[in-house]
């Protein structure tokens, strides 16, 4: 896919990389013949070629390279968005898989209780009501399990569609979510905000400061904006060069009418072809100054967008790191609560087996554990997605496409 993109980009570069202006042809007919020693000049045909100033072709080439690079990074940016959508679907598949697994475990426990109470019933104990209550709880869990299967199937179809596979293609369901992203020192390369939010002048932008900060961000979005700033800088240089005098070369073909009665004049009435060199010196430069101001404004706007995006990325990384810290605390608390509920369930089950327990209280503990498990899975999913979003900035998967 990327090789096709590079082929298109290279073709576009080759088509636009000829920086010398096209030659011009002008035809002039004199209102009245201009008398000369060779005869009367009646018309003139001129072919002119403008000679580019030093560095002008280089600036055009650098501008085109920066624009093509910006488009390539834009393509990679779209790839990262696509990968993030796949990560979201994969995390949802994991969540539903773990929910199904947990519900299966709870159903197994209820089935054991049903068998135990059935044994008590056969021995003369009246446990029919408790058995019916368990069956009702089993129906509820069965319904939740079926819903989890349906939701997972939808996410599997979405995931297959994103990876360009048949929607019915089978998957090996994840048992855990793994990432290699560490947000601990992920953005320490950023200097203080004041250093990279102030642009200096038309030729020194915030991008120069960002480069000097030596940060480790590989986001295609940042690199795309950097390439755009670089192209605007080259365009401004080119506009500045347009204020200088221009040099041209060419040929003039002059049509000459024969002058009758002239004796001893060589080439009387013969058309002339003359080589010429022209030197143009601009006088009024209002339009050129306006063009320079326009390019300077475009550079400022592009630089501002880069600064704003860097602030947004830095803020997002800080927010994601804080979110992960809070998430870790919440998961730890939920794990402690579930350990307590497991102990309460065990004690209540022992009491039920001894015909002293309260089945409704047991179901209450069970439902609370189910809610905590669902909440824990949601935290795990959020943790995974947060790390994947950070990866799209710190070490995006799309970079692998250009290695």
- Give the tens place of pLDDT for each residue, 278-299: 777 777 778 888 888 999 999 9
Let me know: does 71 contact 8? Beta carbons within 8 Å.
no
**Adjacent-strand bridge partners of 252:** 46, 274
Predicted pLDDT of residue 153 = 93
Predicted pLDDT of residue 109 = 81
What is the average per-residue pLDDT within 357-377?
83
Assign 38 a pLDDT band (cuts: 50, 70, 90). Answer: low
Return the structure tokens found at 305. Answer: 């967008």
Return the structure tokens found at 278. Answer: 């022209």
Predicted pLDDT of residue 304 = 92
Residue keyed to tokens 């400022």 = 300
| Least confident stretch, 46-55, 83-92, 371-380 | 46-55
In the chain, % of residues over pLDDT 70: 76
Assign 192 a pLDDT band (cuts: 50, 70, 90). Answer: very low
Q: How many CA atoms lie within 13 A of 167 on its CB side?
A: 7
The dihedral built from the CA positions of residue 240, 241, 244 and 250, taken in this order, carries a sign that is negative
Higher confidence at residue 229 or residue 393?
229
Question: E strand or H helix at 298, and its extent?
Answer: helix 286-353
Question: E strand or H helix at 25, and its extent?
Answer: strand 24-36
Predicted pLDDT of residue 55 = 79
Higher confidence at residue 61 or residue 214?
61
Return the structure tokens found at 380. Answer: 């795990």
Predicted pLDDT of residue 106 = 84
Altogether, the residues listed in the chain come to a count of 403
Backbone angle region of 105, left / alpha / beta, with phi > 0 → left and psi within -120 to 50 → alpha: alpha
72: helix, strand or coil: helix
pTM of the model: 0.66
Assign 160 a pLDDT band (cuts: 50, 70, 90). Answer: very high
Domain layout of the chain by residue ranges:
1-51+246-281, 52-245+282-402
Which CATH code for domain 52-245+282-402?
1.20.1600.10
Residue 229 has pLDDT above 90, yes or no: yes
- Give the tens place of pLDDT for each residue, 333-361: 999 998 998 888 888 888 877 767 677 78
Predicted pLDDT of residue 148 = 92
């Amino acid at each position: 896919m990327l090789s096709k993109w590079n082929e298109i980009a290279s073709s576009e570069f080759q088509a636009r990389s000829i920086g010398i202006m096209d030659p011009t042809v002008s035809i002039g007919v004199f209102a009245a013949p201009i008398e000369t020693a060779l005869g009367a000049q009646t018309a003139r045909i001129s072919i002119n070629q403008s000679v580019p100033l030093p560095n002008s072709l280089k600036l055009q080439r650098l501008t085109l390279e920066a624009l093509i690079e910006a488009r390539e990074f834009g393509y990679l940016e779209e790839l990262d968005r696509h990968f993030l959508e796949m990560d979201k679907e994969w995390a949802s598949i994991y969540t539903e898989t773990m929910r199904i697994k947990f519900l299966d475990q709870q159903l197994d426990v209820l089935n054991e209780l049903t068998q135990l109470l059935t044994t008590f019933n056969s021995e003369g104990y009246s446990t029919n009501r408790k058995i019916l209550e368990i069956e009702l709880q089993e129906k509820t869990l069965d319904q939740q399990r079926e819903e989890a299967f349906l939701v997972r199937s939808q996410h599997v179809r979405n995931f297959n569609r994103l990876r360009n596979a048949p929607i019915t293609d089978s998957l090996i369901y994840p048992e855990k979510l793994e990432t290699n992203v560490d947000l601990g020192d992920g953005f320490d390369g950023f200097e203080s905000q004041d250093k990279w939010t102030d642009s200096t002048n038309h030729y020194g932008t915030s991008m120069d400061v960002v480069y000097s900060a030596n940060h480790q961000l590989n986001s295609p979005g940042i690199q795309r904006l950097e390439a755009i700033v670089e192209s605007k800088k080259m365009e401004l240089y080119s506009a500045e060069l347009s204020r200088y005098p221009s040099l041209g070369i060419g040929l003039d073909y002059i049509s000459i009418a024969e002058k009758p009665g002239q004796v001893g004049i060589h080439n009387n009435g013969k058309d002339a072809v003359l080589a010429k060199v022209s030197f143009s010196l601009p006088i009024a430069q209002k339009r050129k100054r306006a063009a320079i101001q326009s390019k300077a404004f475009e550079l400022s706007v592009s630089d501002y967008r880069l600064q704003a995006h860097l602030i947004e990325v830095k803020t997002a990384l800080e927010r994601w790191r804080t979110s992960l810290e809070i998430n870790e605390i919440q998961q730890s608390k939920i794990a402690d609560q579930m350990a307590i509920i497991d102990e309460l369930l065990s004690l209540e089950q022992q009491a039920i087996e001894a015909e002293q327990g309260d089945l409704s209280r047991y179901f209450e503990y069970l439902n609370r554990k189910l809610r905590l498990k669902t909440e824990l899975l949601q935290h795990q999913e959020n943790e995974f997605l947060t790390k994947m979003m950070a990866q799209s900035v710190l070490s995006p998967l799309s970079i692998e496409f250009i290695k």
